[in-house]
Amino acid sequence: MTDLLFPPRPTPVLPVIGAAGFPVGRIFCVGRNYADHAREMGHEVDREAPFYFTKSAPSVLQSGQDMPYPPRTSDLHHEMELVVALDQGGKDIPQQQAMAHVFGYGCGLDMTRRDLQAAAKDKRRPWDTGKDFDNAAILGPLTPKAGDHSIDDLVIRLDVNGETRQQATLGDMVWSIPELIADLSTLYTLHPGDLIMTGTPAGVGPVMPGDALRGTIGDFAPVETRIV
């Protein structure tokens, strides 16, 4: 074995309800997957194909931990999302087989430096600095999938300081979970440990130090944090 110059960074591990921990690989995020959110951001949904951006595993913050207000922004936004966790990999996965790759679900917050994202968009530059930064992916414990029944009727909701900011049903997603997995697998070879953050409903907005965030989806474990 080759000696290392320094120890590798630890892999984030998410708690799992009733099971061993889930080591996080890549985090794929879906853009404009709720029509109402796309409209509030000044866009229309393009049904031709979904599009993606990524967050890195070091951006993960565990639910229940405080989020320090990030540097070089004055417009930090919340985006509440369903997280889909994969425990099987593959490429060119057919839609009808996609759900066999799903381990379970969780609640997540895609935190966004909106001003940095907007400035990058205006200049036609990549907007990684608006999306992939320390503590930008706040993730709750995972709940293993129970059979193949649909979760489309579950309500996704985010409260800030006890006031509801975002609320929709998962059935409002433009692209379904099987469609997303099948499409992603034509762009990447998927691996166990990969996560898909499936987009956010309307109602995104700014948060400030002192704000308490709590996101829920059905009876999945909530995602919670406080901005400090």
Give 57-79 as a DSSP string: GGGEEETTS-BPPPTT-S-EEE-
Domains belonging to the chain, first-starting first, are 13-226 (3.90.850.10)
As a 3-state breakdown, the chain gives helix, strand, coil percent values, each rounded to 5, of 20, 35, 45
pLDDT, position 44: 66
pLDDT, position 42: 59
pLDDT, position 15: 98
pLDDT, position 106: 98
pLDDT, position 41: 58
pLDDT, position 139: 98
Name 92's Cβ contacts closer than 8 Å, sequence gap at least 6: 185, 186
pLDDT, position 100: 96
Along the 228 residues of the chain, how does pLDDT read in single tens digits? 579 999 999 999 999 999 999 999 999 999 989 877 556 655 666 677 799 999 999 999 999 999 999 999 999 999 999 999 999 999 999 999 999 999 999 999 999 999 999 999 999 999 999 999 999 999 999 999 988 788 999 999 999 999 999 999 999 999 999 999 999 999 999 999 999 999 999 999 999 999 999 999 999 999 999 999
Quote the CA–CA distance of 155 and 35 in Å, as a whole number.
16
Closest CA to 62 of 132, 11, 12: 12
Closest CA to 73 of 24, 30, 128, 113: 113
Name 25's Cβ contacts closer than 8 Å, sequence gap at least 6: 57, 191, 192, 193, 194, 195
Name 49's Cβ contacts closer than 8 Å, sequence gap at least 6: 183
